[in-house]
Amino acid sequence: MSCNNDDGQELFADSPAERIANRNAELTNLLISQNQGYKAVYFSKNDEFGGFTYYMQFNADGTVGMTSDFDAETAIEFSSYEVRLGTTNELVFTTRNHIQKVSNPSFPGLVGTGYKGTSVFQYFKNENGVLTFRDVRNSDSGFLVLTPTNFADFETESVAKAEASLAQRENILPTPTSSVFQLLSIENANGLSSFNFNYDPLRLYASPRITLDDGSVTEFNFGLSFTENGLVISPVLEFEGEVYEEFIYDSSSSSYISEVNGTTAKILFSNEPAFIGRDVFDLLEIGGDGYLYRPGLGSNPLTSPGHDAIIAEVNENLSGFGLSFFDYILFLDFESDNCLSQLLIRVQNANGDIFNAFYCFERAVIQDRKLFLTYAGPAQGNGPLLEASVAPIITFFNSTEGMIYTNEGSFSSSLGSFSNLAGTFTSVQNPSQRVYGLFF
């Protein structure tokens, strides 16, 4: 015995081919319905990278005009696009435009991968005219969100907006006068919580973190995409019941601010880190090893623009003698005031001949997890002659408010890596000045 409830009616009025065509037409109509285009925010992989802002104007003939804040080339470019059916409806940018820069495997610093982007996006949802797509390569972490621009003139306004968001990307970076300590702070009814921001400007990615003495770590991870008046983050930041996503730039304090339900999250420059660890006590175990800073070993972003400015000033001072800065070596002693804590500054002439100048400090002191050095004067030899010229370096280590030391593991730079222990010294008196070097 069998049961048959077939009433002879077709489940779908349209054929499969017609249904596919209808779905494609629906998405196409949404794209071209905005004659002033869309603002698009694209996070290619928000667990590794930040995102970029695009402005796209879709045309019925299958072309799209596009600009972006990816780089300084903000002129509108035209290319082709398609709407087709893959596993779902897909938006495909079929010829090269600004968005393909995200998948460029030759991008400097990210050779082999680029930003792991794509040109194929799966249509996900439409919420009140805001269209969301998933990255076909990174469906769980890559998103393209299109919002109508409501421009009056797409051609001029889109480029101006892209250039404004590109400029915002510079505001989050330290300058020669800004502190190297960049924090994420969140203030709510429970008080103020601060985290070292740990921003990677190449990847546009932040890992705010605090590590306490007991070894406990609190860390967040998110990418940043800049807008004309601030930035957005993805994934969103969830903290004690509130969600933070959009930050507005405040030029008066050089900070990014997000206010939600009476709470405030800020990305800001601070005079001290969120937490000063116990790394400075490692200096007691190093013994007589010297701490070396030499530009010829390559650069590292932990050496701040403020410290670079110190070296530039010293070179300007030395130029009158036909000399230039070569390196410096700091020796620390915690017991003697007899010039065992000393700074050796080496300079060179045009022939590459090296000249030594020694400067004495009283015994090194650790207090409140900071290193204090008190300048005692030049040693004999070239020290007195060059003292005025190299004074900015001496002043850096003679910080009346102490120095913060961090252990950075083995040494690495733009030119190579060594197994030597590396570390940083930052002046608390002038926290724009930080040096990265190695012990030997």
Distance (Å, rounded) from C-alpha 46 to C-alpha 115? 10
Judge whether residue 8 has pLDDT over 60. Answer: no
CATH class (in words) of the domain with range 181-270:
mainly beta
The residue-averaged pLDDT of 79-108 equals: 95
pLDDT score for 208: 97
Q: Which residue has the tokens 């020694």?
A: 358
Q: Alpha helices of 222-320 — where are they, by DSSP H?
A: 283-286, 305-319
Percent of the chain past pLDDT 90, that is, above it, reads 90
Domain ranges in the chain? 16-165, 181-270, 279-439
Domains 16-165 and 181-270 share a fold: yes
Q: What is the pLDDT of residues 201-214, one digit of tens each?
A: 999 999 999 888 78
Minimum mean pLDDT among 17-26, 81-90, 160-169: which range? 17-26
CA angle at residue 282 from 276 to 287, to 5 degrees?
145
Check residue 241 and give left, alpha or beta (phi > 0: left; psi -120 to 50: alpha): left
CATH of domain 16-165: 2.40.128.640
What residues form DSSP beta bridges with 344?
A: 329, 358
Angle, CA 392 vertex, CA 389 and CA 396 arms, to 5°:
150
pLDDT tens-digit profile of 250-261? 999 999 999 999
Q: What is the pLDDT of residue 13?
A: 64
The two three-digit tokens of residue 91, written as one number: 């938006």
How much is the pLDDT for 6? 54
Rg (CA), the chain: 28
What whole-number distance in Å separates Cα of residue 144 and Cα of residue 292?
47
C-beta of residue 414 within 8 angstroms of C-beta of residue 298: yes
Compute the residue count for the chain: 440
CB atoms under 10 Å from CB of 364, counted, come to: 22
Side-chain-side CA neighbours of residue 270 (13 Å) = 17
Query: Letter for the amino acid at 70?
Result: F
93 in Cβ contact with 79 (< 8 Å): yes
pLDDT of res. 287: 76
Contacts of residue 101, Cβ cutoff 8 Å, sequence gap at least 6: 68, 70, 71, 107
Helix (H) or strand (E) holding 185, with range, is strand 181-188
Q: How many CB atoms lie within 10 A of CB 175?
A: 15
Between residues 86 and 360, the one the model is more confident about: 360
The SS3 of residue 334 is coil
pLDDT digits (tens, 9 = 90+) for 326-338: 999 999 999 999 9
Q: Which two structure tokens, joined as six digits, stand for 327?
A: 């390196």
Instruction: Tell me the average pLDDT across 390-409.
Output: 98
pLDDT at 1 over 50: no
Predicted confidence (pLDDT) at residue 3 exceeds the cutoff of 70: no
Tokens of 383: 């020290």
DSSP of 166-207: HHHHHHTS--TTS-SEEEEEEEETTEEEEEE--EETTTTEE-
